[in-house]
Amino acid sequence: MRTIVTNLALAAALPLVLALALPLLAAGCTEDADPTAAQSAPPAIGRNATGPVGLGAAEAGFRPSTLYHGGDFSCARVTVVNRTPGTLEVNPMYFALAGADGAVRDAGRALGQDAAELESVTLGPGNMVIGKVCAKGDFTPKTVTFTSGGTVQARAEVG
Instruction: Write the DSSP string, the chain.
Output: -HHHHHHHHHHHHHHHHHHHHHHHHHHT------TTS--SPPPPPPTT--SSEEEEEEEE---B-TT--SS-EEEEEEEEEE-SSS-EEE-GGGEEEEETT--EEEGGGGTT-BTTBPPPEEEPTT-EEEEEEEEESS--EEEEEEEETTEEEEEEEB-
Fold of 53-157: Immunoglobulin-like (2.60.40)
pLDDT digit string, tens, across residues 79-127: 999 999 999 999 999 999 999 999 999 999 999 999 999 999 999 999 9
Kindly report the pTM of this predicted structure. 0.71
Q: Where do the structural domains in the chain lie, given as residue ranges?
A: 53-157
